[in-house]
Chain A
Amino acid sequence: MNTALFAQLVTLSSSVVLLFGITLLWRRSLTAYIDAFRWQSLVLSVLFVLIGYYSNDPELYLVAVFFFALKVIVLPIYLRRLQARVKVVNEIEPYINIATSLILAGLLVLLAYAVTRPLVAVSTLPTRGGLPLAMGLIFVGLLVVVTRKKALTQIVGFLVMENGIALLAALGTYGVPFIIELGVFLDVLMGFLVMQVFVYHIYGTFESIDVNQLSELKH
């Protein structure tokens, strides 16, 4: 595969990954959230394979397989189960309305371009075109976490942000060593399980998973 083609493919798939992230901002149903996350993870694992093929690094195939298993299969299943258990009605009430969120997301992606400029300028990697997009995805994930009220949607936001970090690592270094990648997967899984427990507890206490109600704990 020649480098120009590879570079174009990387930028394209990074853009798709970012787009799935932004999808979260205008969709309202939780099912749509989970689907977007699942598709995003699928594209990401394809990207891992692509980079592994280009850089001739068989370890990345293994990473892709684990990534696929965890984020395309296991986590969405758990999220569905969680959704069924706490009976979330599909409507989502963000703090900031959809139009404003989208504008903010646009500004954040611009900011991501700005802050990664020095990195892109000195980099000679063919994957450098995707770096600002990965940074943008991290910002968008944070935006979702901050502006959404339901604990479940915040979890998805967190997972999306984590995808952004994985993307940044893959693009910037052609994949961190396998053992570290494994550790990260384990962290994500554990973090997710802990959050799941918390969601159950919040639900058990407030009959709702609206984290806004947590402010009642203050006094």
Chain B
Amino acid sequence: MALLSALLVMTLVGGYGLGALGALLLGGRPAGRFITALGGGVGALAALVLGVSALAAAETMPFDWNAAYADNFLSLTFTVDRLGGVFLVVIGLVGLAVTIYGYSYTAAYTGRYSLRLLGVLINVLPLSLALQVMADNAFTFLLMWEIMSLSAYWLVLTESDQPGTVRSGVWYIAMTHLGFAALTAMFLLLAGNDLNASFAAIRAHAAVETALMRNGIFWLALVGFGSKAGIIPLHVWLPMAHPVAPSHVSALMSGVVIKMGIYGLVRVLFDLMGGGPTWWGGVVLGVGAVSALMGVLYALMEHDLKRLLAYHSVENIGIILIGIGAGLIFQSYGMFTLAALGIVGGLYHTINHASFKGLLFLAAGSVLHAAHTRNMEEMGGLIKRMPWTAAFFLIGAAAISALPPLNGFVSEWLVFQALLGGFSLPVPEAAAAMPLAVGALALTSGLAAACFVKAFGIAFLAIPRSHEAEHAHEATLSMRVGMGVLAVACIGLGLAPFVVVPWLARSVAGMAGLPTTSPTFTAGALIQTPLNFGSMSTTWLAVLLLALLGLAPLLMRWLRVEWRLRVGDTWGCGRIGQTPRMEYTATAFAEPLRRVFAELYRPTKELTIDFHPESKYFVQSIEYKSEITPVFERGLYEPLLGMVRALAFQVRRLQAGSLHLYLVYVVIVLLVLLIATRWF
């Protein structure tokens, strides 16, 4: 087993290394793109197999590797455990799809952008991710974290000549470094100032820390990992950076990179700290609920397809955190089976979100590739021109809307079950908070479904709204295969929870007082929660749905419906000619919700009507403008940036432009230093 995992790790590193080297040497030539994709594919497959074998293995530590440099000043330590295995699966799965997709997607970049840089980074990023979840000490973790952040930054900047890209990059790098600062401080506290301490040593050290210190570590972890995961209000970079990055990079970032925040939270709060007081769980749960709800509400108002998906990432991170927060609460009361249920739900949703959000971003990339716009109001009718992409997008949309029997349904069901278990909490306040979270989650799911009705309906159905959409073309073979990988994952993860759930349960077994044997999930085709108050089987649901679909023709035959095929306009309403201007728009679709939640959105409205000079009963043109500034940008970041700017303006007074003043500064510093060394 150890030999196998060592081989797999070597294949992983070698594959990504080959891909990066190929890109470096061959650049933008087709051969370069091929080697880039080949190396990345081999690396991703190795990560996938390594993750699965870590989860399936009987013994816990299949791989261990240490390297110390410069007399233990720096030491790199790697190990593969089951929690890391879960995330290796995520990295491998999305990485594989992205690599295959990227092979032909990047062809359009030839000559316009540096394919050499893109090819190197698209291999370095997943490599750093894989090594990060294998890291076994704080230094290794932070090093890989920083490599991940920086390579993602350069990837976001790929299309740096497009308006807004550089600005988005600045937001991303600022937020990610805020997080990095918090994480460095956190690990210093956690490891007792020794960044080379192994995680095992940290685990022992964290248990004996004072409550104050532990609370400090909790807050730092929440800010540090939260800024990467995109919790509200640290999410601002997500809707900026994801749309401007190349689509396969967006898939990787939204599917995998932000999940590292989740990995970090589970690793630190559960594994290293061994859980904490109830209010930790309450904070995580609350942040999750707010992120889920706000994320989906802002997604509803977006008409930029990729920004919409980015806001849904905020929403899904929220759902994951609801599961993990519930787990923390139950753990603090010693209710370990329910705790395991919450965390397993969160982790399951992590894998699921990676697969369907990756799929959706890749499909959005195909649309962008074909229609050259991200604005949904200029799409339409794409289902006839790109049926494969439409089908894949539909699968992703159904999965993210948590429709059975797809994967989103299973994990949200698990999270719901964990929350519904809240009635057995001994403290009434906590027990009362759980139904609120259930309500937030239910509302979120409903709004998400509405949002994807909008996204799919406006973008793919009806007749094309622009010249570009009318001449759109289907995605290339490699792009379709890349999307297919994730679509199969969406279906497979939905149909086989009885395989996945016990593995996930085993991955958190033994942490934070959880029993070392996996909690009792009765996992046949029917999946049952530990306390036996819920049971569900997506497999049977799928069979039932298929049976219903099969029954439909029979029913129609029984009713003697006419079978003749007719071709005609949909919803013609008796009109003779139809134009795209008669179509329902995304704005119109979202309008009712905009009114309901007007208090939150506070849209600005601007209506300009040009009347005919002769009579105001004849209108020449009507212009309607409405904008929404997200509440956190309005209420938190704008004042903050204003303050920084004002402060900088004050500091600028030092720089008066007078040479003599500058010389005086130099002399004063010299004199002060001399006096200081003399008397202090």
Instruction: Give the contact stretch, choosing among B390-398, B485-493, B630-638, B669-677.
Output: B669-677
B678-A215 in contact (CB<8A): no
Cβ of B657 within 8 Å of any chain A Cβ, yes or no, is yes
Chain B residues, CB < 8 A from A111: 671, 674-675
Given contacts A115-B678, A118-B678, contact A146 B671 (CB under 8 A): no
Cβ of B616 within 8 Å of any chain A Cβ, yes or no, is no
Most buried by A among B658, B659, B670, B671: B659
Per the bound structure, the CA–CA distance linking A114 and B670 in Å amounts to 14
In chain A between 140 and 164, which residues have their CB closer than 8 angstroms to a CB of chain B? 142-143, 145-147, 149
Closest residue on chain B to residue A118 by CB atoms: B678
Per the bound structure, the CA–CA distance linking A149 and B656 in Å amounts to 16
Is chain A's binding surface mostly helix, strand, loop or mixed?
A: helix
Chain A residues, CB < 8 A from B677: 115
Residue of A115, A142, A146, A218 near B657 (CB, 8 A) is A218
Chain A residues, CB < 8 A from B670: 142
B657-A147 in contact (CB<8A): no
Cβ of A123 within 8 Å of any chain B Cβ, yes or no, is no
Cβ of A12 within 8 Å of any chain B Cβ, yes or no, is no
Instruction: Give the contact stretch, choosing among B49-57, B210-218, B317-325, B660-668.
Output: B660-668
B675-A115 in contact (CB<8A): yes
Residue of B658, B667, B674, B675 near A212 (CB, 8 A) is B658
CB distance from B454 to the nearest CB of A (A): 51
Interface residues as binary, B454-466 with A (CB distance below 8 Å gives 1, 0 otherwise) = 0000000000000
Per the bound structure, the CA–CA distance linking A84 and B659 in Å amounts to 24
Interface residues as binary, A106-148 with B (CB distance below 8 Å gives 1, 0 otherwise) = 0000010011011000000000000000000000001101110
CB distance from B660 to the nearest CB of A (A): 6
Per the bound structure, the CA–CA distance linking A95 and B657 in Å amounts to 16
CB distance from B59 to the nearest CB of A (A): 66
Report, as a range, how many residues of chain A touch the other chain. Answer: 20 to 34
Cβ of A77 within 8 Å of any chain B Cβ, yes or no, is no
Chain A residues, CB < 8 A from B658: 212, 214-215
CB distance from B663 to the nearest CB of A (A): 5
Per the bound structure, the CA–CA distance linking A216 and B663 in Å amounts to 17
Chain A residues, CB < 8 A from B678: 114-115, 117-118
Cβ of A217 within 8 Å of any chain B Cβ, yes or no, is yes
Per the bound structure, the CA–CA distance linking A95 and B678 in Å amounts to 30
Cβ of A211 within 8 Å of any chain B Cβ, yes or no, is yes
CB distance from A86 to the nearest CB of B (A): 17
Residue of B656, B663, B667, B671 near A215 (CB, 8 A) is B656
A214-B659 in contact (CB<8A): yes
Given contacts A115-B675, A118-B678, contact A217 B667 (CB under 8 A): no
CB distance from A133 to the nearest CB of B (A): 16
CB distance from B679 to the nearest CB of A (A): 9
Closest residue on chain A to residue B675 by CB atoms: A115
Closest residue on chain A to residue B655 by CB atoms: A218
CB distance from B655 to the nearest CB of A (A): 8
Closest residue on chain B to residue A215 by CB atoms: B657
Closest residue on chain A to residue B664 by CB atoms: A146
CB distance from B483 to the nearest CB of A (A): 55
Closest residue on chain A to residue B671 by CB atoms: A111
Chain B residues, CB < 8 A from A143: 667
A217-B657 in contact (CB<8A): yes
Per the bound structure, the CA–CA distance linking A115 and B670 in Å amounts to 12
Per the bound structure, the CA–CA distance linking A77 and B667 in Å amounts to 29
Residue of B655, B656, B663, B675 near A145 (CB, 8 A) is B663
A147-B660 in contact (CB<8A): yes
Closest residue on chain A to residue B670 by CB atoms: A142
Per the bound structure, the CA–CA distance linking A214 and B661 in Å amounts to 12
Interface residues as binary, A71-101 with B (CB distance below 8 Å gives 1, 0 otherwise) = 0000000000000000000000001000000
CB distance from A108 to the nearest CB of B (A): 9
Per the bound structure, the CA–CA distance linking A143 and B666 in Å amounts to 11
Closest residue on chain A to residue B658 by CB atoms: A215
Chain B residues, CB < 8 A from A211: 659-660
Per the bound structure, the CA–CA distance linking A143 and B677 in Å amounts to 21
Per the bound structure, the CA–CA distance linking A119 and B244 in Å amounts to 63
Per the bound structure, the CA–CA distance linking A146 and B663 in Å amounts to 6
Per the bound structure, the CA–CA distance linking A120 and B473 in Å amounts to 87
B663-A115 in contact (CB<8A): no
Most buried by B among A117, A146, A214, A215: A146
Per the bound structure, the CA–CA distance linking A126 and B657 in Å amounts to 46
Chain B residues, CB < 8 A from A216: 657
Chain B residues, CB < 8 A from A142: 663, 667, 670
CB distance from A194 to the nearest CB of B (A): 15
Chain A residues, CB < 8 A from B655: 218
Per the bound structure, the CA–CA distance linking A144 and B677 in Å amounts to 25
Chain A residues, CB < 8 A from B659: 211-212, 214-215
Per the bound structure, the CA–CA distance linking A118 and B680 in Å amounts to 13
Chain B residues, CB < 8 A from A115: 674-675, 677-678
Per the bound structure, the CA–CA distance linking A212 and B658 in Å amounts to 7
Interface residues as binary, A202-219 with B (CB distance below 8 Å gives 1, 0 otherwise) = 000000000110111111
Given contacts A211-B660, A215-B658, contact A146 B667 (CB under 8 A): yes
CB distance from B584 to the nearest CB of A (A): 54
Per the bound structure, the CA–CA distance linking A217 and B662 in Å amounts to 14
Per the bound structure, the CA–CA distance linking A147 and B671 in Å amounts to 16
A214-B663 in contact (CB<8A): no
Chain A residues, CB < 8 A from B657: 214-219
Closest residue on chain A to residue B667 by CB atoms: A142
B675-A146 in contact (CB<8A): no
CB distance from B426 to the nearest CB of A (A): 68
Per the bound structure, the CA–CA distance linking A211 and B663 in Å amounts to 12
B660-A146 in contact (CB<8A): yes
Closest residue on chain B to residue A117 by CB atoms: B678
Per the bound structure, the CA–CA distance linking A117 and B675 in Å amounts to 12
Most buried by A among B657, B660, B667, B677: B660
Interface residues as binary, A164-181 with B (CB distance below 8 Å gives 1, 0 otherwise) = 000000000000000000
Per the bound structure, the CA–CA distance linking A72 and B595 in Å amounts to 87
Chain A residues, CB < 8 A from B660: 95, 146-147, 149, 211-212
Chain A residues, CB < 8 A from B675: 111, 114-115
CB distance from A162 to the nearest CB of B (A): 15
| 3 tightest Cβ-Cβ pairs between the two chains A and B | A218-B657, A215-B657, A146-B663
Please list the residues of chain A having a beta carbon within 8 angstroms of any beta carbon in chain B: 95, 111, 114-115, 117-118, 142-143, 145-147, 149, 211-212, 214-219
Please list the residues of chain B having a beta carbon within 8 angstroms of any beta carbon in chain A: 655-660, 663-664, 667, 670-671, 674-675, 677-678
Give 12 A-B pairs besides A115-B677, A146-B663 with Cβ atoms closer than 8 angstroms: A114-B675, A114-B678, A115-B674, A118-B678, A142-B670, A149-B660, A211-B659, A211-B660, A214-B657, A217-B657, A218-B655, A219-B657
- A–B pairs, 10, beta carbons within 8 Å: A111-B671, A111-B675, A117-B678, A142-B663, A142-B667, A142-B670, A146-B664, A212-B659, A215-B656, A218-B655
